[in-house]
Amino acid sequence: MRVEKMPAEFVKALPILQKIRNSGYEAYFVGGSVRDVLLSRHIHDVDIATSAYPAETKQIFEHTIDIGIEHGTVLVLEEGGEYEVTTFRTEDVYVDYRRPSHVNFVRKLSEDLLRRDFTINAFALADDGEVIDLHGGLADLEARILRAVGNPTERFNEDALRIMRGLRFAAILNFDLESTTFASMKDHAHLLSKISIERIFIELDKLLTADFWQKGFRELLAIEAYPYLPGFSDKTALTHLLALPSDFKFTTAVQAWGYLAHQLGYSDGKFLLKKWKVSREFSTAVSKFLTAYDKRLKGDFSSEDLYNLGKSSLTLVEEMFAAQNLETNFEQISALDAQLQIRNKKEIAVSAGQIMTEFGIQPGPQIGQLFHQIELEIVKGHLQNTPQHIFNYVKKTLREL
């Protein structure tokens, strides 16, 4: 098969391939970018594989960076871009079910493609557009099947993260798992307990935010991988996610993880997400979603909810209500947002220091409590956010003490 019209990203990188070939070595586009070209999908990264060893690649190009030279990868800075050029390689015995103990540089493309995870990721594309398919990937693309390269037991024993990658590809591409590959993923799911939770999170996060996330999530349950994921032991609760409409897509990762945490019974996402070692910012955002969800179950949102939790959290919750055919009120959120005078306490028209000076208040708990009270009154719309109105409010409050 030949690609007649290469995408712009490949056209721009063609001089890299040609320069390597003119130096007497083989060079090809490889990996997921080739798969995406064949599926007419957007390309994210352009990866190049070559028979040139790292030292030889560095001799060909004037500007390079050793970003992973021990694994054969050199970053080439040319043609106004940055390109990872990796030497064909084979891999020795894997340690920790994730990393090879040693890599061997080789000159044959066929040896390099044999170490790839799935057949649809084991293509190479030459500079003339010829697609090199040594493992039946084109047929699997046509059949929309995910099949491990070679022996699936060997592939998943080498790198157990490939199990999560397979689920992610199913969710992104809407592909089915080939039966032998499915069985091997199920047999080796327990190896996920050996894998860094940060790496698993990346794969699951991409799965949940994919167009066909329900397919990937359904397969995750089917291969019984969930007991090896932190906090995911309740299969019944996890299955509730699949009750959402088949065409529903999560708007953001916060919404996906927030709704997942809600189904699992968590009222505070920080407890669950601490196990997943996510950023504090992401954990806080999910916790705000959960708080908003709980408040919405009890009634409409208030100005304080909007101020404390943010319009984004409230909107994401309302979208989940819509997905479940529950009554929604997006208009109310917009109305509350339009009426809100401040977004944070820094926007209050006077500072705590100015109030202390104006009324001779000494530092201490009193000014903190008073300023918080002012903040709430402004948020509720009971107090206009102007110096004069705030000073009048303080004067009245102090008189009543």
In this structure, the answer to whether residues 1 and 125 fall within a common structural domain is yes
Got the DSSP string for 67-120?
A: EEGGGTEEEEEETTEEEEEEE-EEE--EETTTEES-EEE-S-HHHHHTT-SBGG
Cα(74)–Cα(54) distance, integer angstroms? 6
Binding residues for Mg(2+): 45, 47
| CATH code (residue 194) | 1.10.110.30
What per-residue confidence (pLDDT) applies to 100? 61
In this structure, the answer to whether residues 5 and 83 fall within a common structural domain is yes
In this structure, the answer to whether residues 120 and 10 fall within a common structural domain is yes
In a domain, 234, yes or no: no
What per-residue confidence (pLDDT) applies to 98? 58
Q: What are phi and psi of 188, to 5 degrees?
A: -110, 10
In this structure, the answer to whether residues 220 and 155 fall within a common structural domain is yes
In a domain, 323, yes or no: yes
| CATH code (residue 276) | 1.20.58.560
In a domain, 220, yes or no: yes
| CATH code (residue 115) | 3.30.460.10
335-338's contacts with Cβ under 8 Å and 24+ in sequence apart are 336/301, 336/302, 336/303, 336/306, 337/306, 337/311
Last residue within a domain, chosen from 91, 122, 137: 137
Count up the domains in the chain and report the number: 4
In this structure, the answer to whether residues 316 and 355 fall within a common structural domain is no
What per-residue confidence (pLDDT) applies to 94? 59
In this structure, the answer to whether residues 191 and 250 fall within a common structural domain is no
Binding residues for CTP: 32, 35, 116, 159, 162, 165, 168
In this structure, the answer to whether residues 111 and 38 fall within a common structural domain is yes
Binding residues: 32, 35, 45, 47, 116, 159, 162, 165, 168
In this structure, the answer to whether residues 3 and 125 fall within a common structural domain is yes
Residue ranges for the chain with pLDDT beneath 50: none
What per-residue confidence (pLDDT) applies to 105? 93
In this structure, the answer to whether residues 133 and 10 fall within a common structural domain is yes
Residue 185 token pair = 């993923």
In this structure, the answer to whether residues 267 and 158 fall within a common structural domain is no
| CATH code (residue 390) | 1.10.246
Q: Which domain holds residue 20?
A: 1-137
In a domain, 307, yes or no: yes
Last residue within a domain, chosen from 137, 168, 184: 137
Q: Name 62's Cβ contacts closer than 8 Å, sequence gap at least 6.
A: 78
Last residue within a domain, chosen from 312, 340, 368: 340
In a domain, 169, yes or no: yes
- 104 pairs with which residues across the strands? 90
Q: How far is CA 397 from CA 172, 214, 369, 389, 394, in A?
A: 59, 56, 12, 12, 5
In a domain, 67, yes or no: yes
In a domain, 235, yes or no: no
In this structure, the answer to whether residues 12 and 112 fall within a common structural domain is yes
Binding residues for ATP: 32, 35, 116, 159, 162, 165, 168
User: ∠ CA(270), CA(274), CA(276), 5° rounding?
Assistant: 120
What per-residue confidence (pLDDT) applies to 138? 97
In a domain, 391, yes or no: yes
In this structure, the answer to whether residues 172 and 214 fall within a common structural domain is yes
